[in-house]
Structure 1
Amino acid sequence: MLTTNDYQLLSEVTGALQVPTAVKPPLGRAEKTAGAIAPVHFSLVVPTYNESRNIERIVALLSQRLDAVLPDRYEIVVVDDNSPDGTWQLAQALLVHYPCLRVMRRQEERGLSTAVIRGWQAARGDVLGVIDGDLQHPPEVLEQLLSAIEQGADLALASRNADGGGVSTWSAARRFLSRGAQLLGLVLLPGVLSRVSDPMSGYFLVRRSAIAGRSLHPLGYKILLEVLGRGAIDRITEVGYVFQEREAGESKVTWKQYRDYIRHLVRLRVSLGRLSRFRQALDFPIGRFIRFGFVGLSGLVVDMGLLYLLHGTLGFGLTRSAIVAAELAIINNFVWNDRWTFSDLTQQQQKRHQVIKRFIKFNLICLMGLILKVLLLNVLFNGLHLNPYVANFLAIAAVTLWNFWINLKLSWRVTQVK
């Protein structure tokens, strides 16, 4: 009878962070004893660190789900960063009960992103996946993700921002940081992050062929950025899910991870931008930008006309009149942009809640543009001592480009998903 000691840990993978085209790792003692093994189709990596209170439950839930859809054709690869709480030992003890479970203990490296890649390097499946080990990613979504891959997707993403998705009890500050990080990513890497609605998701499946042989250089904990940026990803499907608060253990989200995320964006921008900058410049939607400019001029007319009416004719206070005039001008701009500038995109997003979301985003971006204009005006006038009218013109031009590009990539974005 096999005991826990008969079930060996996977050897720690080192060297280049590059997923092989195919892999057949050496069989451990228990695997040899068990005899022939069916070909593995799907390999799901669970990176862990101090998840002793969750590891048994997550393995049980995943096994139950995958046994129903891929009996004997999947593997769960737990990659533990030598947790002080002994997560890897508890996972090893589970090998007796779960024949599709494999465990790697990393003692040389640390970090979620590299743990995922090391797990993929040791995996045997044609389809590779990742899920958190803290039960914040619902295992029941796996069946939909697998179905999407079977229907031809290169990447199947569990998204908090797709239909049916959301977060459970996030604070306003955490929501703000998440959206701010996504907006920063859209500014630095619009061609990568605009492809999906939730580029910060850590729950997805990808075809091995889409990333095999490609050198990956992750930094921090957002491995999806590397997959989107460096992989051969054509078709993407998203499945909405509700992000749950962890039931046990402590959150690992720290300011260091936000810092690493920014560094990762910059690194990808540099490595991917040498050839893509020129291509993106050629692909700039000139016609759409011209329409956006005309709409902006109409908003200026509305703003000035209402300010004259409210303050100059009706005698309302200047500040109150300016605020009302500015907001009505924004509404005017939104309506015309929605029906004219981005009409081809709005046809795919006609639900009421989608229109409301676009309007809120448009308002916030315009507000940010106003703040940016004031800052630029001060830098150009007070710092560079330009003529005030020239400085104002340059600031307006820069902010117009800002408003157009960010609205295109965020407010009227149609992600490349099924």
Structure 2
Amino acid sequence: MKHQTISPNLDSDPRLPTAAPELTVVLPTYNEAENIPVIVGKIADAMGGIAHEVIVVDDDSPDGTAAVTRAVAKSHPHVRCIRRVGRRGLSGACLEGMMAANAPVVAVMDADMQHDETRLPVMLAQIADGADLVIGSRYVDGTRAGGGFHKKSRAKGSELATSLANMITGSYTTDPMSGFFMLRRDVADTVAGTVSREGFKILFDIVSRRGAELDIREVPFEFRERVAGESKLGFLVTVQFLGLLVSRYTGGLVPAQFLLFALVGTSGLVVHMASLYGLSASGMNFTLSQTIATYIAMTTNFAFNNEVTFAHRKLAGLRFWRGLVTFYAICSIGALGNLAVAERIFEFGAPVWLAGLSGAVMSALFNFAVTKLVTWRDG
């Protein structure tokens, strides 16, 4: 007996909304509970009669951002919440919000009021005029970039990052580091599989990879003061951005995540030598000093990688200690492989420096690949 698929006549249900959204606004958040009710209202005022939806993508904020969003959604059904547990990172949050969008056009902006929501209709008009991607720029004529920066040093740092990014993105945009942009949903679908889910500047990644293929336009906006919540900028995102920058310079040949892993490994060498010197100077014999120094370096490497390289999979609680044990085991295997490869290459007549470097590179690649799959596996 064949089963018939019965499709309900949704058009006849009076409880359904009368208009599908023309625009989805994605708000990636972390500790923005105070801002959510305000920004939802400001977006509604700015959009006027334009049908829209708001998707808050929250990285499991401890201040209850997700709960506040759901409370707002009870009286504002165009608001939705995606709560990400065990995943962190601005780029990944933006991508998840884009993929959940119901509208044919998607905008990304911060929830802290630094981005000017009144520019959304202007940006949407540019999309209607044929643009693929519209960027809210802090540097195009008629804008003031420094208004939202509390410190001059932060403003200068943002300008430097923008200058470095422009060396890769060229003339496609004056502000590749902007977090305020709008694009067609089909463009979002196209780029979703190619851009990095790590890091915090998804626009830079999109423009650096696909800039030549897209009709990119800009609208000016004034970068305003943050109202409440936490800034997403800091040492972590700066280091992640530098890794992404180098990766783009190499045409993606060297993954940004591996560069961060290697940078942490270099810092571990400094920790190792400092520990070895201190322990030896205290009168401890060399073998014991070397062993302890090795594990001190491994521990700091694990902690730094957990905070920087794999911040989007950050381990906490019991998982942190389990991860540390697996990290010890994997790096110990990598060390044995390092020795075996270096000795074999030396036996073939290679100079000492080349044999040593080959072993170190092999060990680094092994440690990165295996710890990524085992220690910081998804979850």
Q: Which range moved further: 57-66 or 34-43? A: 34-43
Partner residue, 2:20: 39
Partner residue, 1:251: 231
Q: Does 1:133 align with 2:114?
A: no
CA-CA distance at 1:219 after TM superposition: 3.0
Partner residue, 1:180: 160
What does 1:181-330 correspond to in 2, within 5 Å? 181-187=161-167, 189=168, 192-214=169-191, 215=193, 216-231=195-210, 233-271=213-251
- CA distance in 2: counterparts of 1:169 and 1:98, whole angstroms: 29
What does 1:2-401 correspond to in 2, within 5 Å? 34-35=15-16, 38-66=19-47, 68-71=48-51, 74-166=52-144, 167-168=146-147, 170=149, 171-187=151-167, 189=168, 192-214=169-191, 215=193, 216-231=195-210, 233-271=213-251
Give the 3 Å change call, closer, same or farther, for CA 169–84 of structure 1 in structure 2. closer
- CA distance in 2: counterparts of 1:266 and 1:219, whole angstroms: 14
Unaligned runs of 5+ in 1: 1-31, 275-418
- CA distance in 2: counterparts of 1:59 and 1:36, whole angstroms: 18
CA-CA distance at 1:202 after TM superposition: 0.2
Q: What SS does the corresponding residue of 1:147 show, helix, strand or coil?
A: helix
Residue deviations 1:254-297, cap 9 Å, x none?
Answer: 111111111112223334589xxxxxxxxxxxxxxxxxxxxxxx
Q: What SS does the corresponding residue of 1:186 show, helix, strand or coil?
A: helix
CA contact (8 A) 1:78 1:119 kept: yes
CA-CA distance at 1:36 after TM superposition: 5.6
**Which residue identity is paired with 2:63?**
D
Report % sequence identity. 35
Runs of at least 4 residues off by over 6 Å: none
Q: CA RMSD in A?
A: 2.2
Query: How many residues get paired?
Result: 237
TM-score normalised by structure 1 residue count: 0.53
- CA distance in 1: counterparts of 2:215 and 2:95, whole angstroms: 21
Unaligned runs of 5+ in 2: 1-12, 255-379
- CA distance in 1: counterparts of 2:93 and 2:141, whole angstroms: 30
CA-CA distance at 1:250 after TM superposition: 3.1
CA-CA distance at 1:69 after TM superposition: 4.1
CA contact (8 A) 1:134 1:248 kept: yes
**Which residue identity is paired with 2:39?**
I
TM-score normalised by structure 2 residue count: 0.58
- CA distance in 2: counterparts of 1:33 and 1:265, whole angstroms: 52
CA contact (8 A) 1:222 1:261 kept: yes
CA-CA distance at 1:198 after TM superposition: 0.7
CA-CA distance at 1:42 after TM superposition: 1.4
- CA distance in 2: counterparts of 1:111 and 1:220, whole angstroms: 6
Give the 3 Å change call, closer, same or farther, for CA 37–239 of structure 1 in structure 2. same
Give the 3 Å change call, closer, same or farther, for CA 86–254 of structure 1 in structure 2. same
